[in-house]
Amino acid sequence: MATITTSVADVCAQAKRAAKVLARVDTATKDAALEAIATALEERTEEILEANARDMQAGREADLSEALLDRLLLDARRIEGIAKAVAQIVALGDPVGEVIDGHRLPNGLDVRKVRVPLGVVAVVYEARPNVTIDAAALCLKSGNAIVLRGSSSALHSNAALARIASEAAVAGGLPEGCVSLVAGGGRGELAELATQKGTVDLIIPRGGEGLKAALEEVATVPVIYAASGNCHVYVDASADLDRAEVIVLNAKTQRPGVCNAAETLLIHEGIATEFVPRILRALSAAGVVVRGDERVIELAADESEEAREGVGASQLEAEASLSDSALVQAASEEDWGTEYLALTLAVKVVDSTGQAIEHIGRYGSGHSEAIVTSDTASARAFQLGVDAACVYVNASTRFTDGGEFGMGAEIGNSTQKLHVRGPIGLRELCTFKYLVEGDGHVRS
């Protein structure tokens, strides 16, 4: 496996040579190599766990947040899940050679639009070592060589995973250099990788706005940004409140440190009096800190006042209600645009579905947005009005994931519109070319 012990340019040049071979490798050979990777991951679990333990210890010493530590952590169950994702990719159809379109022109020329690999894909990612394998498996299956560049926080984990993947792939019949790791030597190295125009065909950064900004300054290679997710759940006036509570809690708390977790809750004013106190209690019980607008704070205070007066509440309930309202902090303008990646949620009362759509358009990142409603017209207005990669009706934003979408895995979720939007899977790692066949045709 190529690493940073050779120059970035040399790593990319070797990957380019490998890509030319990979583009012609048959499906059976690629699948056998991926099966070898999945087997090696399970057989070498202890080696991976030992490397990850070193990263986790360094992360704690560096005071990484709990969300980042959760992203970094590998255990036997997660490694098993990574191996299963590779097996799922094996079971998927090979996109290379797929005929997207085909027809015969009036002059007799036969034209086919056929899917082909991109070539060399560089993936830059932060904290999550599982991306090492997900990205490598997706690239190899789609006939691409991959250059990986992880963060320093996952240095040992990424090195172990990339080594295992590279060794297994080469032993399975794929070319040397098909999986390469650049170890993470700072912004200068990142800039060098992002400017390898002759060898790197695409770079995909998977991380926060800082990484995106760093690449925007220097990249000359085409970029697909798998960027941040400022995701919203909007509870409409017609919503089933039991359903809404379950969806909100899942979207926020099931795994708060990931890009498809909800960061803002919007509540229609028609149900605010009933739903705001209810969802605040549920969020409080789940350990979520709320940043609320004036109406949310007002409703929380009203609930506390009723509890003080003993209206429909025991002393214990009154104390709980007061505790809930104490967790509601005043939201600032900055909160509406913040991806917390933690147990913090911005909550706002809106006057209409239109205002909810307007708020999302102003502050959303184009990742995943959800409406909870029983009204078909509201659902349709939300689907048409919200500009995001994934728009949900009566479902949690947490489903935005290549594995959940049947892609086996993903390299990330694109929040841009060209050439891919949403989960980046096998077909999204391909381009196409036109194959034209004639019979001595010349143009007059």
> How many domains are there within the chain?
2
| 2 domain-assigned | no
CATH code of the domain covering residue 120: 3.40.605.10
Q: Are 173 and 131 within one domain?
A: yes
Q: Are 170 and 147 within one domain?
A: yes
Q: Are 390 and 358 within one domain?
A: yes
Q: Are 189 and 302 within one domain?
A: no
| 442 domain-assigned | no
pLDDT for the residue 419: 87
Query: What is the pairing mode between strands 231-235 and 368-372?
Result: parallel
| 216 domain-assigned | yes
Is residue 233 a contact partner of residue 208, using CB atoms and an 8 Å limit? no
Percent of the chain with pLDDT over 90: 80
Q: Are 277 and 378 within one domain?
A: yes
Q: Are 247 and 345 within one domain?
A: yes
Beta strands (DSSP E) in 177-269 are 179-182, 202-206, 231-235, 262-268
Q: Are 287 and 426 within one domain?
A: no
Q: Which two three-digit tokens encode residue 269?
A: 């004013």
Q: Are 141 and 257 within one domain?
A: no
| 37 domain-assigned | yes
Q: What is the pLDDT of residues 189-230, one digit of tens each?
A: 889 999 999 999 999 998 777 888 889 999 999 999 887 899
Q: Are 258 and 214 within one domain?
A: no
**Within 194-292, where are the H helices?**
209-218, 241-253, 269-285
State the average pLDDT over residues 349-373.
98
pLDDT for the residue 325: 46
Total-model pTM:
0.86
Q: Are 25 and 102 within one domain?
A: yes
pLDDT for the residue 324: 45
3-class secondary-structure state, position 366: coil
- The answer to whether residue 312 scores a pLDDT higher than 60 is no
Strand partners, 263: none
Q: Are 270 and 199 within one domain?
A: no
| 444 domain-assigned | no
Q: Are 213 and 235 within one domain?
A: no
Question: DSSP string spanning 25-51?
Answer: --HHHHHHHHHHHHHHHHHTHHHHHHH
Is residue 372 a contact partner of residue 396, using CB atoms and an 8 Å limit? no
**Range of 240's domain?**
231-399
| 406 domain-assigned | no
pLDDT for the residue 392: 98
Query: What is the pairing mode between strands 120-125 and 145-149?
Result: parallel
| 152 domain-assigned | yes
Q: What is the pLDDT of residues 36-58, one digit of tens each?
A: 999 999 999 999 999 999 999 99
Query: What are the Cα distances from residue 73, in Å, to 124, 208, 251, 329?
Result: 18, 18, 21, 31
